[in-house]
Amino acid sequence: MLYYSTNNKQLKSGLKEAVINGLAADKGLFMPEEIPVLPPSFFEKLPDLTLGEIGFECLKPYFCPEIPEADFKLLTADAFNFDAPVVPVSENIASLELFHGPTLAFKDFGARFLARVMARFTVGYGQDINVLVATSGDTGSAVANGFLGVDGVNVFVLYPKGLVSDVQEKQFTTLGQNITAIEVDGTFDDCQRLVKTAFMDEHLKDKITLTSANSINLARFLPQMVYYFYAYGQAIKQGKQNISVCVPSGNFGNLTAGLIAQKMGLPIKRFIAATNINDIVPKYLASGHYQPAPSIATPANAMDVGDPSNFVRIQELFKHDLTSLQTVISGCSVSNELIFSTINTVFHSYAYILDPHGAVAYHALKTALSKEEYGIFLATAHPAKFPETVEEIISQKVEQPERLKAFLNGEKCVKNSSNVYEELKQVVLSKAL
Ligand SMILES: *Cc1c(COP(=O)(O)O)cnc(C)c1O
């Protein structure tokens, strides 16, 4: 499979180049040249397949034969080695729980897969690959844990000192091995600027191989397809039909993956794109005007995005035609007050604990759903990752899963850097060389 740039259909790259570079040479995003439809035999056996088996079948067209099939089978089984159950919450609504991975958020799917694909590409590369990532919380932990112990890859996680939650910080500062956490005296924007500067620093790039692991990388968003198929298989087993899916969205990588699954033949009726008050996409779907804006902080902070980077991929899938987009996706923006009241109502009515991101999705789905539909929303993070918000609303403790406790008991180990680039560069070089 070749991958074209969203800026220029004629500019194509092979898999390895697309994964290692992340972005196309003209700064466009990579899209697969074609999206094959899976055969009826796949859908017949779907309800009985594991996540790993589904991953193998639906991702094979994109990653094989560049990765030999036998190896790819092992890779998908290993990357998707935790469950994603569909849990009924209320009458015609179920939660697709995507937080049973190592860092209790759905980003584990993409990060674990990306790490394993990249590790393959480092074999015979003759040099370590250095992943540089800036995080305001969740991305850093999923990427660091995805790459933990992967030979030939060093990971540097830059985060703003004092500005990530304790739970989040522990998930990437206690790992050691090939993971270096760098506590930056500055803001998240400083961290992003430092990473961007590093990618433009030819002197640094002469010395070491640099790559990024953010959600524009095709090997991070494509694997998110697996759980749409898996959820559908479970819903069919539970006797449901007419299935619509609600995706709590920030950079829109997750929704893009769902739309590609649909194009590959998955009979999802429609999607609801749920956002917090950063409502660029819902506004666009309603008015046809795409107006990026500075992001606004909300309790669903992993979705605080004012100019969603993957939205152009969705535009590509619909050939930039607003009307056809509107037939498949509807938008809904959810206020902070509604996030709080939804967590409260769902807990007291159905004894189900939502995290703030899941609450956005639940509310949007409930609002949009008709009587004939069965709705599944993506629960993208475990509520124990947001104890400050959730516990105050439900007036009780959220039980911490064992793997979260293990992080919290770990010892924090970080390198420090100011927000001056030269200092950051020395920290990276001292570890990478
Ligand atoms: C990253 C994230 C999202 C947003 O996903 P996108 O693919 O960027 O739309 C939603 N919920 C949680 C918990 C996240 O970490």
Domain boundaries, the chain: 83-105+221-398
* Ligand 1 binding pocket mutation candidate from 251, 281, 314, 385 (most atoms within 8 A of CB): 251
Give the number of the atom of ligand 1 that is nearest the alpha carbon of residue 305: 8
Report the top-level CATH class of 83-105+221-398: alpha beta
pLDDT of residue 189: 82
pLDDT given at position 268: 97
| 107 carries an active-site annotation | yes
The residue-averaged pLDDT of 331-347 equals 98
Atom of ligand 1 nearest to the CA of 248: 10
Q: What percent of the chain is predicted at pLDDT more than 90?
A: 84
Kindly report the backbone phi and psi dihedral angles of residue 213, in degrees, each rounded to the nearest multiple of 5, phi listed first.
Answer: -135, 30
Nearest ligand 1 atom to the CA of 256 is 7
Token pair in block for residue 303: 């979705």
Element (H, E) at 231: helix 226-237
Residue 82 pLDDT class (50, 70, 90 cuts): very high
pLDDT of 276 higher than 80: yes
Check pocket membership of 105 for ligand 1, CB cut-off 6 A.
yes
pLDDT band at 320 (very low <50, low <70, confident <90, very high): very high
Mean pLDDT of 369-398: 96
Q: Across 269-273, 290-294, 300-304, which has the greatest mean pLDDT? A: 269-273
Please give the pLDDT value at position 126. 76
Cβ of 251 less than 6 Å from ligand 1:
yes
Residues 317, 252 contacting (CB under 8 angstroms): no
Type of residue numbered 56: F
Q: 177 CA to middle of ligand 1, Å?
A: 27
Q: Is the CB of 252 under 6 A from ligand 1?
A: yes
Out of 104, 139, 249, give the residue to mutate to test ligand 1, the one with the largest number of ligand atoms within 8 Å of its CB.
249
Distance 126 CA to ligand 1 centre (A): 35
Q: What is the pLDDT of residue 264?
A: 98
Please give the share of the chain, as a percent, with pLDDT higher than 70.
100
Active site residue: 73, 107, 161, 170, which one? Answer: 107
Mean pLDDT of 308-331: 96
Mutate to test the pocket of ligand 1, among 100, 357, 360, 385 (most ligand atoms within 8 A of CB): 357
pLDDT of res. 187: 85
Cα gap 160→212, rounded to integer Å: 18
The pLDDT of residue 29: 95
pLDDT in tens, 164-185: 888 889 999 999 999 999 999 9
Task: Kindly report the average pLDDT of the chain as a whole number.
Answer: 95
Residue 384 near residue 398 (C-beta atoms within 8 A): yes
Q: Is the CB of 358 under 6 A from ligand 1?
A: no
Q: CA angle, corner 107, sides to 104 and 108, nearest 5?
A: 65
Protein residue with its CA nearest to atom 2 in ligand 1: 302
Report pLDDT for 384: 95
What is the pLDDT at residue 167?
87
Phi, psi values for residue 48, rounded to 5°: -100, 5
